[in-house]
Amino acid sequence: MTDPRLTPLAAALPATVPFTGPEALERRLGRPFAARLGANESGWGPSPRAVEAMSRAARDAWMYGDPEVNDLRAAIAAHHGCDRAHVVVGEGIDGLLGLLVRLTVGPGTAVATSVGAYPTFNFHVAGFGGRLLTVPYRDDAANPEALMGLAQEAGARLVYIANPDNPMGGMHGPETIRRMVEAVPDGALLVLDEAYAELAPEGSLPEIDPADPRVIRFRTFSKAHGLAGLRVGYAVGPAPLVAAFDRVRNHFGLGRVAQAGALAAIGDRDWPREVAGRVAAAREEIGRAARAAGLRPLPSCTNFVAIDCGRDGAFARRVLEGLLARGVFVRMPGVAPLDRCIRVTAGPETAVAAFATALPEALEEAGPSD
């Protein structure tokens, strides 16, 4: 039954959410997971400097956070070598994507993305009545040429790509992204989701002028910085567009503790590098476990590994269910042919070992494909 007070648009939306959280799955199973390797969090946690800063800030949690997020914006701007007028901070990349869509997309507005790409972006586009247009992945990666061709043909307002990619883990080099920027149609905007930027190989990210009116880049504190529970992300882009976020954002959305933790995190250059090293080692272990079980791990520039289960989506889903039943939380891409894979987050040794132990059993239980 639908509440009669909903707008026609809201009433027509599917009653779904982009992700089922691990907590909901734990409630369904009746026990906690032994290994939490599905949400692309950092099991190594935040920088000790960030923990100390949050502890100090907790005493002042009776006060709202600075609505201008002044100190954090200044630190992010310094980190990127730009003026703070090019930086907006918000409740994670997810929240900022929602604000961007609210600012630029109305009923019927064309938006281009890839089939199987990050679903929260699609969720926002649908919520504001946009017309979502898609191209398929090519060789387990977003297809930049097809995306930009679709944008040109359809007059898309936004073109979304995650680089490094979620859910497959690979990435396009800087020259490819620069060609995408050059191909942005007049009046359109390239939405460049760089959530995994700190985990990408050195020199693999493009240099883009923050003032370039054709592109907006998104970063997060949820991955290498280990602050997923704080929900802090930011965007770097042209000043007029960044200023427009003030018209729609929740000005008190980031509390004092969140701002303090993120400020200390971005000031600690060593911690993300240390985490990146641990992630690389964990990816190797996940890859070894996959190969030992007869599966193929895909190359990854992120904090997870997509593992090709070698059959179809139904088989991969049975493998995933077998892992969940054994206390190992992982996820998988949602659409074919990407859904032949499961996706395993790089985590501490004990969690990866639990995955390695459970995988052969889950595969045996999954049996032959349908």
DSSP state letters, 241-307: HHHHGGGTS-TT-S-HHHHHHHHHHHH-SHHHHHHHHHHHHHHHHHHHHHHHTT-EEPP-SSSEEEE
Per-residue pLDDT tens digits for 261-283? 999 999 999 999 999 999 999 99
pTM, two decimal places: 0.95
Topology, domain 8-45+271-366 = Aspartate Aminotransferase, domain 1 (3.90.1150)
- On average, the pLDDT of the chain sits at 96
- The boundaries of every CATH 3.90.1150.10 domain in the chain are 8-45+271-366
Answer for the pair 323, 342: CB distance below 8 angstroms, yes or no: yes
Q: What CATH code would you report for 48-267? A: 3.40.640.10
Closest C-alpha among 92, 128, 109 to residue 250: 92
Per-residue pLDDT tens digits for 53-96? 999 999 999 999 999 999 999 999 999 999 999 999 999 999 99
Structure tokens at 287: 């890859």
- The boundaries of every CATH 3.40.640.10 domain in the chain are 48-267
- Tens of pLDDT along the chain (370 residues) come to 788 899 999 999 988 777 889 999 999 999 999 999 999 999 999 999 999 999 999 999 999 999 999 999 999 999 999 999 999 999 999 999 999 999 999 999 999 999 999 999 999 999 999 999 999 999 999 999 999 999 999 999 999 999 999 999 999 999 999 999 999 999 999 999 999 999 999 899 999 999 999 999 999 999 999 999 999 999 999 999 999 999 999 999 999 999 999 999 999 999 999 999 999 999 999 999 999 999 999 999 999 999 999 999 999 999 999 999 999 999 999 999 999 999 999 999 999 999 999 999 999 999 864 5
